[in-house]
């Protein structure tokens, strides 16, 4: 006996399962609470709307389309510290370029431009998170640069956090304001995975 309905039925089942699978993929970023924060579900990291006087630009983004890496950009146009700061979170096994310190340093040097040189590299201790190991790398400003580039990089056993700032001014006050921005980030959320899904 010949069954002609089986091929169209199998095709319909294949299409339905493909569509259902695509729809059920989890979004790695979700709005959280009523304060404008976004949560990276895998790591639990919160991207608040404001950190100090810096405001988040748009909503956070996935890095390279993967769920294990997300970031957001913050900007401030006035005050002692003006410029842009990228805050990115990476899974320990992420294949993204900046998921390792060497890649993040290369990205920072690219922002500085031709002839980029590391001016200083030293450990950076967070008051709020004792299990994070951090480093702060300052890049010397180029001959025609009006600002500076600073890289902060932190690691845990499961996550890496990169803070890359390009700011105007080279004063001690602006450096202290940048350190305060980094300290004010929601470090206590890293690794909490609030289980939104």
Please state, for a pLDDT cut of 70, what percent of the chain lies above it. 78
Segment 125-139 shows an average pLDDT of 83
State the distance between the two ends of the chain, measured CA to CA, in whole angstroms.
47
- Check pLDDT > 50 for residue 2: no
Contacts 24+ apart (CB under 8 A), 64-67: 64/95, 64/96, 66/28, 66/94, 66/95, 66/96, 67/26, 67/28, 67/41, 67/42
pLDDT in tens, 44-98: 999 999 998 899 998 999 888 777 899 999 998 877 678 899 999 999 999 999 9
Segment 102-124 shows an average pLDDT of 89
From residue 90, how far is each of 48, 113, 121, 173, 180 by CA, in Å? 17, 25, 21, 30, 22
CATH of 26-189, one of 3.40.1000, 2.130.10, 1.20.1440, 1.20.950: 3.40.1000
- Across the chain, mean pLDDT equals 80
- Check pLDDT > 80 for residue 164: yes
Domain boundaries, the chain: 26-189
- Check pLDDT > 70 for residue 129: no
Segment 121-131 shows an average pLDDT of 82
**Phi, psi for residue 103 in degrees, rounded to 5:** -65, -40
- The least confident of 35-39, 129-133, 181-185 is 129-133
- Check pLDDT > 60 for residue 3: no
- Check pLDDT > 50 for residue 18: no
Residue 12 or residue 115, greater confidence: 115
pTM of the model: 0.81
- Check pLDDT > 80 for residue 28: no
Segment 132-137 shows an average pLDDT of 90
Residue 88 or residue 171, greater confidence: 88
């Amino acid at each position: 006996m010949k069954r002609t309905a089986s091929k169209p039925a199998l095709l319909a089942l294949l299409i339905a399962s493909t569509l259902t699978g695509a729809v059920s993929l989890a979004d790695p970023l979700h709005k959280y609470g009523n304060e404008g924060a976004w949560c990276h579900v895998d790591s639990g990291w919160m991207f608040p709307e404001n950190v100090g006087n810096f405001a988040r630009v748009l909503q956070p983004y996935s890095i390279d389309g993967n769920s294990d890496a997300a970031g957001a950009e913050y900007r401030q146009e006035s005050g002692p510290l003006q410029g842009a700061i990228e805050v990115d979170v990476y899974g320990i096994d992420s294949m993204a370029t900046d998921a390792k310190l060497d890649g993040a340093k290369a990205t920072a040097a690219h922002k500085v431009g031709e002839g980029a040189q590391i001016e200083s590299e030293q450990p950076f201790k967070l008051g709020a998170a004792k299990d994070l190991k951090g480093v702060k790398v300052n890049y010397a400003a180029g001959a025609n640069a009006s600002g500076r580039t600073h890289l902060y990089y932190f690691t845990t056993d499961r996550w890496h956090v990169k803070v890359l700032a390009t700011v105007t001014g080279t004063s001690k006050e602006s450096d202290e304001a940048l350190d305060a921005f980094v300290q004010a980030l929601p470090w206590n959320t890293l690794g909490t995975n609030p289980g939104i899904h």
